[in-house]
DNA sequence: TTAAAACATGTAATTAATTACATGTTCACT
DNA sequence: AGTGAACATGTAATTAATTACATGTTTTAA
């Protein structure tokens, strides 16, 4: 395990037992995982970050293209040049055996760190000292709208992407994380509603 | 609103309605908020990131000290040099009226963006295709241990920091976010438990 | 037929965040 | 008297991520 600014090996301080991590090079693994599903172009990968994994991880094409080069240099992926139509050049990337191994190793290794949630609203709440602060109710209202919208969006996605049991069985992990995200939003909405009822 | 890579103004794409943000310069506001509570040194601020706000935001002293200089140059904060003991130099920072204004403006402005949650376990789950994958159960078990521990830790903190109603009334926002964090962890644990019962 | 949207691939500049380097003081305990 | 933990403040190097710059092709719909 790489040294983390605050981890369990750091025995001299006992303020917190569990490390909360920022973000490390997980992008490479996501790319390997996506390419394991099927060979894809950088553009396809960028779209995946806007769609299915977008709820959980974000990356722009400006981060993806350089990473594809790095991974190819490292021998984890290769590409095949193709031409679409008259002359539109595409690079179809796919995993090498080494890349596949690396992906399997990553999924199999422990994930002992808590997710770093950076929620600006929660941060602002911290600085509201009193329950009577006139800013509090509007803030809660605003967040309720935001999270109700997101909840509806996620439920809609679940219905579209997983219409039947067969769809769930084919991409069980994807189903689980969508289900998890829905539950998380539902909790957020319930928590806000309960506060709004005072 | 500063241009975001994927926001509501971007009307030409309709894949997602709500922006998920990365991280912007929120550190400065957190520092202003902390200094608004009471004048503090950089060291004190760093400790606050390990304790109360550590569940919601992380920053190291190597980020804090330069930010204090930036904020002082910008006229948002000032400092007073003091000596502790024989010769230990301390810099006690406090808000200027301008810094206070800036803090109030930030808290008052809308927070229309969803939190970016980067959870490595959730990411790995995405790449588990089948419910029969032998890695799935151990992964869920591991996460259950992690989140049960965190839940216990947060509940302990609530009991310590908010033993009575008076404590809650004095730092209502802090209480709310701790309550929110507990609810969030409780949901995570319940979700994992329900999956582990198959 | 033409304009907009989507497809497609890159690089550059900047900012945010982590990790490591660097140094010294004070307090509590043995 | 000595040691280790906590107090205290910085900088440097690196990595991650965002935003902006840059260019061209193909498809779709008015």
Least confident of A36-45, A50-59, B184-193: A50-59
Residue A141 resides in a domain: yes
At B15 the three-state DSSP class reads coil
pLDDT > 60? residue B16: no
Q: Are A99 and B94 in contact (CB under 8 A)?
A: no
pLDDT of residue B7: 30
Q: Is residue A7 part of a domain?
A: no
Give the pLDDT confidence of B45-90 residue by residue, as tens digits.
Answer: 999 999 888 888 999 999 999 999 999 999 999 999 999 888 899 9
Residues B98 and B163 in one domain: no
Q: How far is the CA of B12 from the C1' of D29 (A)?
A: 15
Distance B10 CA to D30 C1' (A): 22
Asked if residue B16 is part of any domain, the answer here is no
For residue range A48-71, list pLDDT tens digits in order. 999 888 888 999 999 999 999 999
Alpha-carbon distance of B76 to A167, in angstroms, equals 55
Q: What percent of chain B has pLDDT over 70?
A: 88
| Same-domain check for residues A32 and A87 | yes
Q: What CATH code is carried by the domain that includes residue A45? A: 1.10.10.10
- Report the pLDDT value the prediction gives residue B51, as an integer from 0 to 100: 84
Based on the domain organization, do A101 and A66 belong to the same domain? yes
Chain B environment of A15 (Cβ under 8 Å): 50-51
Q: For residue A118, say whether its CB is under 7 Å from any atom of strand C.
A: yes
Give chain A positions within 8 Å (CB) of B128.
107, 172-173, 176
A33 plus A99 within the same structural domain: yes
Residue B19 within any structural domain of the chain: no
The reported pLDDT for the residue numbered B114 is 86
Task: Mark whether B45 and B103 lie in a shared domain.
Answer: yes
Chain A touched by B44 (CB under 8 Å) = no
- Whether residue A185 lies within 8 A of chain B, CB to CB, comes out as no
List the single residue in A15, A50, A103 with the smallest CB-CB distance to B16: A50
CA–CA separation, B69 and B62 (whole Å): 12
* Proximity of residue A124 CB to strand C below 7 A: no
Q: How confident is the model at residue A77 (pLDDT cuts 50, 70, 90)?
A: very high
Instruction: Provide the domain limits for residue B89.
Output: 27-108
Residue B17 lies in a domain: no
Would you state the pLDDT for residue B64?
A: 98
Q: Which residues pair with B122 in a beta bridge?
A: none
Could you say which of A52, A80, A108 is where a domain stops? A108
Q: What is the pLDDT of residue A8?
A: 29
B194 touches chain A (CB under 8 A): no
Residues with Cβ within 8 Å of B186's Cβ and at least 6 positions away in sequence, in order, are B151
Residue where one domain finishes, among candidates A78, A108, A138 = A108
Cα–Cα dist A20/A113, whole Å: 6
Domain-located, residue B127: yes
Return phi, psi of residue B134, to 5°: -65, -15
Q: Which residues touch strand D (CB under 7 A)?
A: A 12-14, 23-27, 58-60, 62-63, 84-88; B 2-5, 21-24, 41-44, 46-47, 61-62, 65-66, 68-69, 84, 88-91, 116, 118
Residue A44 is assigned to a structural domain of this protein: yes
Note whether A38 and A103 are same-domain residues: yes
Domain count, chain B: 2
More confident residue, A13 or A63: A63
Residues A92 and A156 in one domain: no
> pLDDT grade, residue B20 (50/70/90)?
low
Residue A118 forms contact with B (CB below 8 Å):
yes
Q: How far, in Å, CA of A50 to CA of A34, rounded?
A: 13
pLDDT (tens digit per residue) in B93-131: 999 999 999 999 999 999 988 887 889 999 999 999 999
- Span A180-192, average pLDDT: 97
| pLDDT score, position B23 | 56
Interface check A109 vs B, CB under 8 A: no
Nearest by CB to A33, from B58, B127, B184: name it.
B127
Residues A125 and A145 in one domain: yes
Residues A104 and A125 in one domain: no
Residue B45: inside a domain? yes
Contacts of A115 in chain B (CB under 8 A): 117-122
Q: Is A101 on the interface with B (CB under 8 A)?
A: no
Residues A47 and A72 in one domain: yes
> Whole-angstrom Cα distance, residue A164 to residue B24?
40
Three-state SS annotation for chain A: CCCCCCCCCCCCCCCCCCCECCCCCCHHHHHHHHHHHCCECHHHHHHHHHCHHHHCCCCCHHHHHHHHHHHHHCCCEEEEEEEECCCEEEEEEEECHHHHHHHHHHHHCCCCCECEEECHHHHHHHCCCCCCCCCHHHHHHHHHHHHHHHHHHHHHHHHHHCCCHHHHHHCHHHHHHHHHHHHHHHHHHHHHHHHHCC
Task: Name the residue among A19, A26, A24, A77 with its Cα closest to residue A49.
Answer: A26
Q: Based on the fold, state whether residues B92 and B142 are members of the same structural domain.
A: no
Say yes or no: B145 and B80 in one domain.
no
Among residues A82, A108, A134, the one where a domain terminates is: A108
Among all strands, which nt has the closest C1' to B92 (CA)? Answer: D8
């Amino acid at each position: 395990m790489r040294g983390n600014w605050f981890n369990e090996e750091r025995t001299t301080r006992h303020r917190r037992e569990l490390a909360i991590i920022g973000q490390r090079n997980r992008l490479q693994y996501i790319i390997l995982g996506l390419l394991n599903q099927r060979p894809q172009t950088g553009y396809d990968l960028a779209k995946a970050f806007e769609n299915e994994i977008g709820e959980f991880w974000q990356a722009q094409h400006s981060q993806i293209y350089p990473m594809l080069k790095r991974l190819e240099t490292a021998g984890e992926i290769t590409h095949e040049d193709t031409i679409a139509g008259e002359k539109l050049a595409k690079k179809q990337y796919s995993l090498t055996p080494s890349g596949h191994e690396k992906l399997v190793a990553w999924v199999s290794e422990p994930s002992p760190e808590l997710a770093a949630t950076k929620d600006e609203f929660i941060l602002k709440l911290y600085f509201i000292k009193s329950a009577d602060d006139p800013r509090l109710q509007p803030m809660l209202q605003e967040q309720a709208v935001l999270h109700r919208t997101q909840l509806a969006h996620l439920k809609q996605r679940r219905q579209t992407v997983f219409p039947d049991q067969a769809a769930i069985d084919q991409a069980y992990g994807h189903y689980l994380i969508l289900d998890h995200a829905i539950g998380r939003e539902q909790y957020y909405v319930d928590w806000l509603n309960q506060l709004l009822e005072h």
